[in-house]
Structure 1
Amino acid sequence: MKVLVAIDSFKGSLSSLEAGNAVKSGIEKLGCEVLVKPIADGGEGSVEALADALKAKFMDVIVANPLGEKTPARYALKGELGILEMASASGLPLIEKSRRNPLKTSTYGFGEMIAHAIAHGARKFIIGIGGSATNDAGTGMLSALGFKFTDARGEALAGTGENLIKIAAISDADVPQSIKDSEFLIACDVDNPLFGENGAAHVYGPQKGADEAAVEALDAGLRSFAGVVSKSLGKELCSERGAGAAGGLGFGFVSFLRAQLRPGIDIITEQIGLQNDVQGADLIITGEGRLDFQSRMGKTPSGVAKIAARYGVPVIALAGCVSSCAGGCNEHGIGAFFSVLNEPMSLERAMEPAVAAQNLARVAEQAVRLFMLGRGAK
């Protein structure tokens, strides 16, 4: 029996590859032919999963964090393909809660990471943009790439949330041709517009440290910036699906870098050729750290199940935690799901890599034994 294991990371515990290998160790003894395929949905862990799947190399670089302080960042490179996570350079966890302020934070360091990849031969990019600490509409990133934003007096402005309202003109005269020629595919799983009550500032600003006054100031800045972009580039993209993602970074990408915004799971399954592996499998094992109502809405388990359904391949999902609202997963292509915890233990204990791997292996073995019994009954 051929089993395809395409399981997401167990955040803070096991990478996608480690989780997949744990499952493999549990079911190989049953005589199964097992293929482990690292996978993610565009969120945290996507760079590592894609790097493992595509045999890419990791690149380390020192960039500015959201407040301009030096921080190490990492991305992956495979020939001309750069695989990046914005959060590595401009993510919320990089600054303490007491210092978070989207009026002051910037995606400049993320732009530095892109420039580093360009300098090392990247011309095509897959980028995850979840988890930002910023609300600068990508102006920080764009500034690092050579774009220039100036006020009414012609003075250059740093790319921060508080400066959006001051931007009067935009220039790309200093942007290298290598950047203009590059292709950007953005993993984006939200559909927020740039501004308004469902926009970047109102929906995500508070979790980034913005109080009510800051939210209103940021929203006004995003609205003003969109008007300047419209006049400068002749594009009305502020209402595009995902324009408000990552504090307006989605808007910055589509407006200035001709990027495509797509669901992360779709991008990654296409890149790793998951469809070809699904066609040759008798059973698929997927999963993630926590299985809940979100798992059926563009997360790894539902993405894998969607492809499996095309070819009639059954799917089992494993998770560290299964919430009471996970039942809907059965209606979205997952035949059965199981928690890997079989005895009471603390969260800290359950997340120890060795313990998590052991639990995964044990439950995977029993789930596959049950599946094989069902096949025999037929």
Structure 2
Amino acid sequence: MRIVIASDKFKGSLTAAEVAEALTAGLRRAVRDVVVERVPVADGGDGTLAAALEAGYERCPVTVDGPTGEPVETAFARQGDLAVVELADASGLLRLPGAFAPLTASTIGTGQLLAAAIDAGCRDIVLGVGGSCSTDGGAGLAVGLGARILDASGRPLPPGGAALASAAALDLAPLRARLSGVRVTLACDVDNPLLGPSGAAAVYGPQKGAAPDDVAVLEKALTVWAGLVAETTARDLRAAPGAGAAGGAGFGALALLDAAMRPGVETVLSLVDFEAAVADADLVITGEGSLDEQTLHGKAPVGVAAACRRLGVPVVAVCGRTTLAPDVLKTAGFAGTWALTDLEPDPARCMEDAWTLLERTGATIGDRVLSSGRIAGAVAP
């Protein structure tokens, strides 16, 4: 029996690799001769770098400016001339040294990370966005790659989204020179525009600490920034699907890096050669911390289920909790679903004891499913 564990992280509790480790321990306790292979996955947000490294990519360390200016030790993953860059690991919420900084946090470190990959000879860049703590419209991303954003007096703007209200000139020559011959893929699952009630500031700003007055400041500043970028590049992408991703970093990538947008989980599954890894598997186990409505809109478990359906490989899901009805889970492609809250209803204890609960879940899958072969025959190719 060959089992592939292709789970995303359990956010706030365990990494994807730790989830796989716990499940493996349980499976092997129940079925000693089971062959388990681990292929951690992600949806383009935090965990994307780890998934590439787990798949054998080389880790290339880089020190960049964190979202509020402090040095951050991060890395890009490399395979030949392909580099994987994760915004969350350079400019994400987990990189804030303290409180939220909704008006001043920047994506400059992600731009510096991209620059390091390009300067190292990589010509095919995958940029995974998600988990951002800033709403700077991708301005920091551009500055990190060499662009200059100036106010009416010719002074460089300070970092952060609020400062963009004073943006008057944009020099893209250094950025364009660095990006010559480079292809950028934006791994992203959201389709929000940059501005308006569905835009970066209105929808995602409050998640990053922006009060209503801050949202208004950011919306005005991003409007100025979008106009300046349109004037400079002769194309206006403020309404493009995905422009509002990661506080507008999607806009910066699309408008200034000429990035091509691709669904995040699809991109990650391609990076880790997922279909080859599961082609002859008897069962795939996937999951994430919460299986909910968001899961159905481009999250890793549904992407894994879709790939398994094409290959005729049965797939089950594990999660911390689920708010989805059994028929919805079945329609999404899962032959079975196990939630840790069925073992420990207290959410705090469930997160704290996630490793132990996942091990128990792995043993349950082994006892009730693998030994009987019921799941293996439950999903028709």
Q: Note the residue ranges of structure 2 that are not aligned, 5 or more in a row.
A: none
Equivalent residue, structure 1, for 2:319: 319
Check 1:52–1:26 CA distance in 2 against 1; reply closer, same or farther (3 A cut): same
Q: Render the CA deviation track for 1:257-302: whole Å, top value 9, x for unaligned.
A: 1112222111011122222334323322212222223222211211
Identity of aligned residues (%): 36
- For residues 90-129 of structure 1, what are the structure 2 equivalents within 5 Å? 90-95=91-96, 99-129=99-129
Cα separation, 2, equivalents of 1:290 and 1:124: 33
**Structure 1 residue 308 displacement after superposition:** 1.7
Equivalent residue, structure 2, for 1:82: 83
Q: Which moved more, 1:18-27 or 1:159-168?
A: 18-27
Q: Render the CA deviation track for 1:155-201: whole Å, top value 9, x for unaligned.
A: 33234212222222221222373433322222212111011111111
Q: Render the CA deviation track for 1:298-334: whole Å, top value 9, x for unaligned.
A: 1121111111222332211122333365652211111
Cα separation, 2, equivalents of 1:206 and 1:261: 25
Q: Note the residue ranges of structure 1 that are not aligned, 5 or more in a row.
A: none
Conserved 8 A contact 2:335-2:375: no
The structure with higher relative contact order (CA 8 Å, sep 6+) is: 2
Cα separation, 2, equivalents of 1:117 and 1:290: 33
Two-structure CA RMSD over aligned residues (Å): 2.7
State whether structure 2 residue 11 is matched by structure 1 residue 6. no
Check 1:374–1:78 CA distance in 2 against 1; reply closer, same or farther (3 A cut): closer
**Structure 1 residue 105 displacement after superposition:** 1.8
Letter of the 1:293 partner, please give it. Answer: E
Letter of the 2:39 partner, please give it. Answer: K
Conserved 8 A contact 1:23-1:364: no
Conserved 8 A contact 2:46-2:89: no
Cα separation, 1, equivalents of 2:34 and 2:342: 24
**Structure 1 residue 252 displacement after superposition:** 0.4
Check 1:202–1:273 CA distance in 2 against 1; reply closer, same or farther (3 A cut): same
Conserved 8 A contact 1:15-1:49: no
Conserved 8 A contact 1:350-1:356: no
> TM-score, structure 1 length as denominator?
0.89
State whether structure 2 residue 180 is matched by structure 1 residue 188. no
Check 1:77–1:350 CA distance in 2 against 1; reply closer, same or farther (3 A cut): same
Equivalent residue, structure 1, for 2:363: 362
> TM-score, structure 2 length as denominator?
0.88
Check 1:328–1:354 CA distance in 2 against 1; reply closer, same or farther (3 A cut): closer
Q: Which moved more, 1:191-200 or 1:167-176?
A: 167-176
Letter of the 2:53 partner, please give it. Answer: A
- For residues 1-378 of structure 1, what are the structure 2 equivalents within 5 Å? 1-27=1-27, 29=31, 31-53=33-55, 55-95=56-96, 99-175=99-175, 177-323=177-323, 325=325, 328-340=328-340, 343-344=343-344, 347-348=348-349, 351-352=352-353, 355-356=356-357, 358-369=359-370, 372-373=373-374
**Structure 1 residue 253 displacement after superposition:** 0.5
| Alignment coverage as a number of residue pairs | 376
Secondary structure of residue in 2 paired with 1:372: coil
**Structure 1 residue 25 displacement after superposition:** 4.2
**Structure 1 residue 80 displacement after superposition:** 2.1
**Structure 1 residue 249 displacement after superposition:** 0.7
Conserved 8 A contact 1:192-1:199: yes
